[in-house]
A and B are shown apart, each in its own frame.
Chain A
């Protein structure tokens, strides 16, 4: 079957070619292909968010249904008329029997402007349109100061294109991944991307310490398992043999011991985490120092300032004593970045460097 058609006709001096030009947004149409006598066709590729379709815009000078295959391919019909001339509207009416044959789904009546003062009154036109499933489109509608500006009506040629877009063309091909997705999903994708990146960075940093933690945990779990199974064994034996009671108690005390060890171990793990945090803190400190040696008052200050929020958060997670030291480091780094006198801070930072645990780790 041939491509679906939009049949464009005119019952006034506005040429159908004009609408084709407007729809295709071309200044010069050139010669369309004559598919039938007095019917010219121009290709139009429709591209919307959801589908693509190629249709033909067909112009005709006179009332016709072409031939059978053409009549079948007509899916939309546009007709122009002049509201100043009654006979123009009458000739639109005489299209109706043809339209019964063509059966287009979209029917639009196009005029320049239609008001109550014209020879053909707006209300008459509108009622006729509704009765015959037409849509009235004015190319230059009366300006109305409508209050809902957020979602204005589209008019004129834009409306014609919009209405044609909204039609389900018989040959449309859906796009596989419609580019529309809600802002939320877009946000989600961005977040995921960021998270992935952050994870990769984290991995490279945490690789070694994580490993240590894991092995420690694993061995703990193994211990727990062993104790559990031994408990079960004891329970069995105690049931069958009441004399084994002391043995059973022994097992319980053993289990308790192990759990005690567990409890003792947990705080140790915590300190491990703390030291991890400290490691990060040290990286920051390195940054401070690197920045501090930069030209004073230049970019380094801005960089430092950007990270200030982060530093504050980090400082809050540190234990009291560490926090103080960290704060001092920050202050010193700021002092240097601002281009303050080196003598003021020299003694301070050096003594602190020696005190801070993390510095030896940084120096290979």
Chain B
């Protein structure tokens, strides 16, 4: 399963942080800081997978944003790696010409999209159309 999912920019600032396993606030912050350092240092030219403490770290860099996930050892790394692409494609479908600003000003939407895709650390939906359906319904109702 996915233990946590982070989205950070190149400044090392956290855009999105989702944890699917309980972690004390302090531990969480320490962990996040460490991981950000690791990923920024490695950049996107090194392997995107590495073992870290008791889990596997998977990350991918897109559009100057780092997608970082910590997964249990029984999870498929490649699947998560591709899942990042799906997240990005879904976001890009909703926000044409996606950039960091879109995420920054639509945190609620991004959280909703991720909540459609992951439940309790498990990937539950992979069809962009179905992921976006509830949000689009809300948008339609809001008008």
Q: How many residues of A contact B (CB 8 A)?
A: 33
Tell whether B40 is near chain A: CB-to-CB under 8 Å: yes
Query: In the docked arrangement, what's the CA distance between A154 and B61, Å?
Result: 12
Q: A133-B12, A151-B63, A166-B104 are in contact. Are A126 and B41 (CB under 8 A)?
A: yes
Contact across chains for A50 and B101 when beta carbons are under 8 A apart: yes
Residues in A with CB closer than 8 Å to B123 are: none
Residues of chain A contacted by B143 (CB below 8 angstroms): 185, 188-189
* Least Cβ–Cβ distance between A100 and chain B, in angstroms: 17
Query: How would you classify the secondary structure of chain B's contact residues: helix, strand, loop or mixed?
Result: helix
Identify which of B11, B88, B93 contacts A133 (C-beta below 8 A): B11
Closest chain-B Cβ to A333's Cβ sits at a distance in Å of 42
In the assembled complex, the Cα of A183 lies from the Cα of B139 at a distance in Å of 11
B12 pairs with A130, CB closer than 8 A? yes
Minimal Cβ-Cβ distance residue in B for A192: B143
List 16 contacting pairs A-B, 8 Å CB cutoff, sorted by A: A49-B102, A49-B105, A50-B105, A51-B105, A106-B11, A107-B11, A130-B12, A130-B37, A146-B44, A151-B63, A154-B64, A162-B64, A163-B11, A182-B135, A182-B139, A188-B143
Residues in chain B within 8 A of chain A (CB atoms): 9-12, 36-37, 40-41, 43-45, 61-64, 85, 88, 92-96, 98-102, 104-105, 132, 135-136, 139-140, 143
Residues of A at the B interface (CB closer than 8 Å) are 48-51, 106-107, 126-127, 130, 133, 135, 144, 146, 148, 151-154, 159, 162-163, 165-166, 168, 178, 180-185, 188-189
Question: Nearest 8 A-B pairs (CB), nearest first?
Answer: A184-B136, A166-B100, A50-B105, A151-B62, A135-B10, A182-B94, A185-B139, A151-B63
14 more A-B contacts (CB under 8 A) besides A130-B36, A148-B62? A51-B105, A127-B41, A146-B44, A148-B85, A151-B98, A153-B62, A153-B64, A166-B99, A168-B104, A181-B139, A182-B93, A182-B136, A183-B96, A184-B140
